[in-house]
Structure formats: C-alpha cells, structure tokens
Amino acid sequence: MKLKLPAGSFRAYLFDCDGTIVDSMPLHFIAWKTSLAEWNCTFEEKLFYAWGGRPIRDIIASLNKAQGLNMPVEIVAEHKEALYHKLLPQIKAIPEVMEHIEAQHGLIPFAVVSGSRRKSVEGALSVLHLLDKFDALVCAEDYKNGKPAPDAFLLAAEKLGVAPKDCLVFEDTDLGIEAATAAGMASVKVPEPLERV
C-alpha cells in the first residue's frame, strides 16, 4: 500500500511518531492494558485508537472520570511508560512512511511532532536508527495545548523556519489531522495497522 500525498511542493515534512513513523501503537496498547489492569480499569482497543495523539496524563484523567476511578495519574503514567520502554526492542518502522523519509531526507527538513514525551520518542527512533534524520523534535513537554490544537505543529514549523502553508504533516489519528488543518498545513493520513494489509 502506498501513501498518496496531496498535490503541491512542500518545504518541510512534519511527522507524528507513534503509529506514523513507528508501528508502536500495538506495543503502547499492551503497556496500557498491563498498567491499567492493576487498577481494574478497562481501555477498549477502539477507544485507544480513537484517543491516539492525546497525552498520557489526559488519558488517565479521562479514564478516571469515565469509570469513577481514582488512579494516581503520575504513578500510572510512569508505570505505563516503563512497560512500553521494555517492549521497545520489538518496534518496527512503518514502510509506507519510511519510503517518504528516505526519498526526501537531506532535501527538506523534517520534524517529529508527538503527544508522547521526549524520552519515549527518542527511545523509539533510536532503536530504529532514525533519530539523526530529524532536524527538530516537538514532544509533550514542549507545548501546553495538545492535538487537536495546532500549537505543536506551529512550534515545529517555527523551529524549522518554514511557513505552516509549506509544511506537509504525516499523521495516523483524526486528532492529528485536525491539528494540522488548524495549523494551516496539508496532511496525509497513515492508516491504522488493521487497514494497512
């Protein structure tokens, strides 16, 4: 399956990380299920994908509210991330996105724009030997308003010195596509694992 890019010439590519560059969503889901099970909290796979791109702490707070739980947000977040890091050696890149990274690397600047924390993003990209391909990383610590707000994408464009209208965003979630649109950027949607067969 090939990704169909929108028409036009772009001066920078902005990539979400999880589910876009790296096929990490199944690993994140395992880490979520394991860490939440200890608190008798359920997290359906459909909801997990629907909430893709949301910061970890927001997800835990929302699950607390929805299920009448009182999970300690920081402790659960740290535990979930630790479980995910143990699974990192199993991570793989998404071939349809790698094709565009390899084709344009060195020709235009790239940034990663993620709802995950820097340690998680750097960990995944390092396992795949991709970290040096990106000119900027914009992670959860770098902005206040997460996707669908445009803040993270606008910050990435600013770091690369490229106007938002000249950026192309690669995203796997509706929240990410909304954020790109709000930033005035063109985007391409990367299908979820089940759709990529």
Question: How far, in Å, CA of 27 to CA of 187, rounded?
Answer: 25
What is residue 93's three-state secondary structure?
strand
Q: What angle do CA 167, 171, 172 make, to 5 degrees?
A: 170
* Active-site residue flag, 172: no
Tokens 């300690």 sit at which residue? Answer: 72
Token pair for 132: 């040096």
CA distance 190 to 78: 28
Cα three-residue angle 106-109-113, rounded to 5 degrees: 135
Q: Active-site positions?
A: 16
